């Protein structure tokens, strides 16, 4: 009886991948911009529900926490059903949450609808879109990540002023209802996430080959490979542990300035439309920062030093917060927004490129799910704590110092940890005298991989995993 051999498909680095990239652009835009853009409604919510800054800040925090904390759930669903069905379901869920939020009568109901339900829906779109980018791009992956990440500033530039217009014309309830309708576009993006088909070399009848291909493409049966739905063994990688610690510290302060910026500007007497436009300035600068940073990150002399490049971005963002803490007039806030947009764009463009470099595509889904889970804890601490400080001291200067200090701490930690791991690895290789063997094995295993590994990846893994090694069921 004949046989058929199923070959893994290398990332095409183009073709339909550009449509997948467009879908990822939209998904990233909604996922990251939406929690910030709804901050234009906070003043009205405070007035209608009689709550304070910290109470309304919880809406964005819960939404972001669900985006991050639902990572393991998203990983399990993607590994079980594939990216496309999960994204279609997530788009419906995100839309239903915002539509339900328009009918709420108290702040707790807003937490459940806009926060939990919409946040979960965005999570079920965001992670699969990143996985699909890893499936379709390899050599051009830094550029693809940078372009997809640009969706966040583009949507922030649009959604923030749009939200202000909707608020003035229809009130916050009408605005939430319309934004819920906009989130249905996530379903369209999910529909274009076409799985990569395996090539089948046949030595038998066409029917047998088709059966082999179909078996490879279909989701596994219930109970099959359950143990691999979420791979906790990735936490043995010291490089990943370093990344998780750094990102936890980062998320404590990264979103605080953007979530509270509009309210801060309004409290300084700046007109509502001008205050909302500040987020558009951040978004506009961010639009150009992310793709540019993605191009720079793909350069041969930069890519092996990606963790250090990421550390520079974190330090830049932290120093921007600290240096702008005393900005009180509109001109000062505009200058802050320009530099914050630039540094924020660098962080956004590099964060997942670094993670993909650490894990490779084999374990990226599980690693991303666990990373987002830890970040969810941080995002539940950061913005609400900042809101409570504002309620208690009526002083926004403390918030900028706090957020900036956290980013600077994360940047220093990542730099030192990366250097120590690199030094330890070099000492180990020198002692064992196995440098040439490791290099030759790595070259033979993956001729398309990067010329040099990230310094703290080699600490445990020994080599960078193939960038196109996903199971077909992930896509």
pTM: 0.63
Supply the angle between the helices 364-393 and 256-267 in degrees, to the nearest 10: 30
357 in Cβ contact with 138 (< 8 Å): no
Which one is predicted more confidently, 374 or 439? Answer: 374
pLDDT class for 209, splitting at 50, 70, 90?
very low
435: exposed, middle or buried (C-beta count within 10 Å: 0-12, 13-18, 19+)? exposed
What average pLDDT does the segment 130-150 reach?
80
pLDDT attached to residue 164? 86
- The whole-number pLDDT of residue 430 equals 66
By C-alpha distance, which of 313, 455, 369, 466 is closest to 130?
Answer: 369
Q: Is the Cβ–Cβ distance between 68 and 372 less than 8 Å?
A: yes
Judge contact between 195 and 84, C-beta under 8 A. yes
Q: Say what the pLDDT of residue 225 is.
A: 43
Structure tokens at 400: 């900028």
Q: What is the pLDDT of residues 302-343, one digit of tens each?
A: 777 788 889 999 999 999 988 877 777 888 889 999 999 999
The mean-pLDDT minimum among 129-133, 228-232, 235-239, 373-377 falls in 228-232
Read off φ and ψ for residue 388, nearest 5 degrees. Answer: -65, -35
Mean of the pLDDT values across residues 76-83? 85
The tokens describing 409, both together, are: 């701490």
Interval 366-392: pLDDT, tens: 787 788 788 888 878 887 788 788 778
**For the residues 130-154, what does the mean pLDDT come to?**
80
**Distance (Å) of CA 317 to CA 309, 322, 331, 403, 417:** 13, 9, 19, 9, 19
Contact by Cβ (8 Å): 28, 152: yes
Q: How far apart, in whole angstroms, are the C-alpha atoms of residue 299 and residue 145? A: 14
pLDDT number for residue 388? 81
Confidence of residue 93 (pLDDT cuts 50, 70, 90): very high
Instruction: Go through the domains of the chain in sequence order and give each one's CATH number.
Output: 10-196 (1.20.1250.20), 232-431 (1.20.1250.20)
């Amino acid at each position: 009886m004949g046989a058929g051999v199923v070959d893994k498909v290398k990332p095409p680095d183009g073709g339909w991948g550009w449509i997948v990239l467009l879908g990822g652009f939209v998904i990233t835009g909604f996922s990251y911009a939406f929690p910030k853009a709804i901050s234009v409604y906070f003043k009205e919510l405070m007035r209608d529900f009689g709550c304070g800054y910290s109470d309304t800040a919880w809406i964005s925090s819960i939404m972001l926490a669900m985006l991050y904390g639902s990572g393991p759930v998203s990983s399990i669903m993607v590994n079980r059903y594939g990216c496309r069905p999960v994204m279609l379901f997530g788009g419906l869920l995100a839309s239903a949450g915002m539509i339900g939020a328009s009918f709420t009568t108290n702040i707790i109901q807003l937490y459940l609808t806009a926060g939990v339900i919409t946040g979960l829906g965005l999570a079920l779109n965001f992670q699969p879109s990143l996985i699909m980018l890893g499936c379709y791009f390899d050599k051009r992956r830094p550029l693809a990540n940078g372009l997809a990440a640009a969706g966040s500033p583009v949507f922030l530039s649009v959604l923030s002023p749009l939200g202000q217009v909707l608020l003035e014309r229809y009130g916050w309830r009408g605005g939430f209802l319309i934004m819920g309708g906009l989130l249905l576009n996530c379903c369209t993006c999910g529909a274009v996430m076409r799985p990569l088909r395996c090539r089948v070399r046949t030595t038998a009848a066409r029917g047998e080959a088709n059966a082999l291909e179909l078996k490879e493409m279909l989701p596994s049966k219930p109970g099959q490979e359950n143990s691999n739905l979420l791979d906790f063994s990735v936490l043995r990688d010291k490089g990943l542990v370093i990344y998780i610690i750094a990102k936890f510290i980062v998320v404590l302060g990264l979103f605080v300035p953007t979530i509270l910026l509009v309210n801060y500007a309004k409290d300084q007497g700046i007109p509502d439309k001008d205050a909302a436009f500040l987020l558009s300035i951040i978004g506009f600068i961010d639009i150009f920062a992310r793709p540019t940073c993605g191009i720079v990150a793909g350069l041969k002399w930069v890519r092996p030093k990606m963790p250090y490049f990421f550390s520079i971005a974190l330090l830049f963002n932290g120093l921007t917060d600290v240096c702008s803490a005393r900005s009180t007039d509109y001109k000062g806030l505009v200058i802050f927004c320009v530099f914050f947009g630039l540094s924020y764009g660098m962080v956004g463009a590099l964060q997942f490129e670094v993670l993909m470099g650490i894990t490779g595509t084999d374990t990226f889904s599980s690693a991303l799910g666990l990373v987002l889970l830890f970040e969810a804890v941080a995002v539940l601490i950061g913005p609400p704590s900042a809101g409570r400080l504002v309620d208690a001291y009526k002083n926004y200067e403390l918030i900028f110092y706090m957020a900036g200090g956290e980013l600077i701490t994360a940047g220093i930690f990542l730099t030192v940890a990366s250097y120590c791991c690199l030094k330890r690895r070099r000492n180990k290789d020198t002692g064992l005298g196995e440098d040439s063997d490791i290099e030759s094995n790595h070259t033979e295993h993956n001729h398309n991989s990067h010329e040099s590994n990230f310094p703290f990846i080699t600490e445990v893994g020994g080599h960078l995993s193939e960038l196109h090694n996903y199971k077909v069921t992930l896509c």
